[in-house]
Amino acid sequence: MPRYCFVSQVRTDRLEEYRRRHAAVWPEMLRALRDTGWRNYSIFLGDDGVLVGYVEADDLAASQAAMQANDVNRRWQDEMARLFADGGRPDENWRLIDEVFNLDDQLATVSRDASRDEER
pLDDT band at 88 (very low <50, low <70, confident <90, very high): confident
Domains of the chain: 3-119 (3.30.70.100)
One of 7, 12, 19, 22 is an active-site residue; which one?
22
Using an 8 Å Cβ cutoff, are 91 and 45 in contact? Answer: no
pLDDT score, position 104 = 93
Q: Indicate the length of the chain as a whole number.
A: 120
Question: In percent, how much of the chain has pLDDT > 70?
Answer: 100
* Cα separation, 36 vs 70, whole angstroms: 10
pTM exceeds 0.75, yes or no = yes
Residue 119 has what pLDDT?
80
Residues above pLDDT 90, as percent of the chain: 83
Active-site residue, 113 included: no
Scanning 1-120, the segments in alpha helix (DSSP H) are: 15-23, 27-35, 60-68, 71-80, 103-119
